[in-house]
Amino acid sequence: MGFLFGSSLAAQPLHWVYDLQKLQGILAQDPNPEFRSESANPFYRRQTGQQSCYGDQAYVLLESLSECGDVNDLKQRTLKFFGPGSEYDTPVNNPYRARGGPRPQLPIEGPWRHASLKSFLKNVDMGKEETGCENDCQIDGIAKLAPVVAFYAGKPDMLEKVEQAVRVTQNNDVCVAETLAAARFLEHFILNGPDPKALDTVLDQLGDKNRKQPQDQDKSVIEHIQQVKENLSKTPQELIPTVFPNT
């Protein structure tokens, strides 16, 4: 678990650098960029040693698990950490900021409040029982799942707990299906250690008609994992321009 948060802290200054040429230039100057003192993040700037919003979400989940483990508790802790009066509560991060208005000067100073968290805050304001964003399927769920998988690894309700935690902020079926697949991978490594057959093991699990926590999107997830298998021999520099030409 310390590795999870250590990685989040160390990588934060290079978070969201999508320009590969810029990133390659940074790495050419400093091939060991962990805890880089000067942020190169083009969207937001935090002091080195602080986490991205992904890491902060994982921290809140870990804190809730260690002290309570209840979904309503997780909702309240998420509201407190990212909501009114928090360091994330800035004008540029306002969930009600009108679309089409003046764009913020990037990078902003301070943390970035993700789209799913903005929807979460608005859903809480409206008194909704289901607080998660219905149209956000970004990486947040996978990025924060480590605490709950570590806590419930090997237990029959692990996947159920992961889904409950994810739907607090991302009530999106694609996001949940992808996150449950990632949870299967992480649990497998926690219980078995390194395994070159992990991809096949999770594919077998997802193809089992009696699998736990089945999702309508599991077939699409299987196709994504098959795509990963087909491209394992390629480097990121080879893969990104061909498979993700618009990135």
**5 compared with 19, residue with greater pLDDT:** 19
Q: What is the pLDDT of residue 3?
A: 46
200: pLDDT strictly greater than 70:
yes
Domain 52-172, CATH number (from 1.10.4080.10, 3.90.1150.10, 1.10.287.40, 2.60.120.260): 1.10.4080.10
Q: What is the pLDDT of residue 19?
A: 87
- pLDDT tens sequence across 24-66: 899 898 888 888 888 999 999 999 889 999 999 999 999 999 9
213: pLDDT strictly greater than 90:
yes
Question: Of all helices (H) and strands (E), which one includes residue 115?
Answer: helix 115-125
Please give the mean pLDDT across all residues of the chain: 92
- pLDDT tens sequence across 130-164: 999 999 999 999 999 999 999 999 999 999 999 99
For residue 238, what pLDDT band results from cuts at 50, 70 and 90?
confident
Q: What is the pLDDT of residue 243?
A: 73
Residue 61's φ and ψ, nearest 5 degrees, are -65, -45
Instruction: Using CA atoms of 1, 110, 134, 167 in order, give the dihedral in degrees to the nearest 10.
Output: 20
DSSP string, 179-242: HHHHHHHHHHHHHH---TTHHHHHHHHHH-TT-SS--TTHHHHHHHHHHHHHTTTS-HHHHHHH
Rounded to whole angstroms, how far apart are CA atoms 228 and 243?
11
Question: Of all helices (H) and strands (E), which one includes residue 82?
Answer: helix 71-82
Q: What is the pLDDT of residue 36?
A: 87
Domain ranges across the chain: 52-172
Q: What is the pLDDT of residue 247?
A: 54
| Site of tokens 């935690």 | 165
For residue 8, what pLDDT band results from cuts at 50, 70 and 90?
low
Roughly what angle, to the nearest 10 degrees, separates helices 53-67 and 71-82? 140
